[in-house]
Amino acid sequence: GEAALPPGYARPVILHRAILGSVERMTGVLCEHFAGKWPFWLSPRQVMVVPVSEDAFEYACYVRDTLHRRGIHADANLGDGTLKKKVREAQVAQWNYIMVVGKNEEEQVSVNLRVRGQAKPVGERDLAELIEQLEEENRPRALSQPRALPPFRRREAAEAPETAEEAEPVAEAPAAAEAVEPAKEEGAHETEPAMA
């Protein structure tokens, strides 16, 4: 059995559950790695639309809704406060892009763009062109396509040996090794043989 506890002590009970433990750990690693500055394709705060005045609220909502329909996480700051304060709040919250809109942008169907991490604004950009760029940036990331494997070729028509000890060296291997030796003596750089 268990040893008796001294008076005044109680055995601690720990409840632990890790249904998605590996996912939680990976999320923790990503949070630590990016320190809140998520890349665009992974960010929950991709675009903040900031109207310069109440007159631009309707266009700001149009830009936000258009971005939403194209699969981009966007919000519009329609609250009280100065333009400078709204832009600063979006910068502190680490929004990837801040789109400032007003009457001029509404007439041109454009936005005035600021990018996280850049001190100066990018300037006015056409909305349709910018959305195409953001869609490209927002594509799901995946591992690159695997390279093609070299073709498999049997050594002979006879059966291949079953163990490594039974395997005989390939006849061309010594000749290839001798061809490399003189190159080493002459001070040439060693290169890896190309795979067939």
d(CA 41, CA 27): 15
The residue ranges of DSSP E strands in 11-129, in sequence order, are 47-51, 74-76, 97-101, 110-115, 123-126
Q: Which tokens sit at 194?
A: 């190309």
Q: Between β-strands 110-115 and 74-76, what pairing exists: parallel, antiparallel or unpaired?
A: unpaired
Residue 184's pLDDT is what?
Answer: 46
**For the chain, domain boundaries:** 38-137
Domain 38-137 has CATH 3.40.50.800: yes
Residue 30's pLDDT is what?
Answer: 86
Q: Which tokens sit at 19?
A: 């249904």
* Spans in the chain with pLDDT lower than 70: 1, 141-147, 157-196
What is the DSSP secondary-structure string of 142-154? Answer: -PPPPPPPPPP--
Residue 167's pLDDT is what?
Answer: 53
Residue 45's pLDDT is what?
Answer: 95
Q: Provide the whole-model pTM.
A: 0.61
d(CA 71, CA 60): 17
Residue 65's pLDDT is what?
Answer: 97
